[in-house]
Amino acid sequence: MSPVAAPSQDAHALTEFSQEMAVQQGPAHSSSIEPSLSPYLENHSESYLHSLLVPTHILCKYALAMDIVRPDSTHSCCFTRGYGNYAVGTGSVLQHCLAEDDMHSCFKIFKEKREHGDTESAAEALLPLKLRYFSPREVANLMCFPQDFSIPADVTLRQSYKVLGNSLNVLVVSILLKYLLSDNRTF
């Protein structure tokens, strides 16, 4: 058995960093449990939410490879500039309706129908989940962009995802810069 190492200066700095993030994010995001995605989601109109739904032909091909999260999830995948254009590896999609158990039963039906070659009705089995893309504002929220940040109205949805994709979390960058420029660095 190896001896347990004492906490390093790096671990101490990471703890300070986490505490600083909690303070800067405010009470909506500070909690003793992991925060969920809910505070980052927006209340959009039904018609706008409908425009964010994952198309049926994409569900047919890629549903089993998508990272699907729910508002109560505590994680999401990194959003890349291909989000909304490519289906896999570009960011999570949000299950907008039904419970987690319902998701499992919908996917069970989806798999059974796909195995029998019925791909059209297989994708229809997933429609009750209302799988949708995150809106550009929600992606910006997850990246801690300020609320007054906006993308010009003449920019398309695809262009918005390109702008936000592969972006850095604004809060993390600001804390790192503050740390790097301070005289009280510990490592």
pLDDT at 24: 57
Q: What is the mean pLDDT of residues 23-39?
A: 64
pLDDT at 9: 43
- Range 24-28, long-range pairs (CB < 8 A, 24+ positions): 24/171, 24/174, 24/175, 25/144, 25/171
pLDDT, averaged across the chain: 83
CB-based burial of residue 49 (10 Å sphere; 0-12 exposed, 13-18 middle, 19+ buried)?
A: middle
Which whole-number Å values give the CA distances from 9 to 15, 77, 93, 157, in the listed order?
A: 10, 29, 38, 44
- Quick: pLDDT tens for 1-24: 333 333 344 444 445 555 565 555
Question: Does position 82 have pLDDT exceeding 80, yes or no?
Answer: yes
The model's confidence at residue 99, banded by pLDDT at 50, 70 and 90, is: confident
184 vs 187: CA distance, rounded Å:
9
Domains and CATH numbers, the chain: 36-181 (3.90.120.10)
- Quick: pLDDT tens for 132-156: 999 999 999 999 999 999 999 999 9
pLDDT at 14: 47
DSSP codes joined into one string, 104-150: HHHHHHHHHHHHTT-HHHHHHTTGGG-EEEPPHHHHHHHTT--TT--
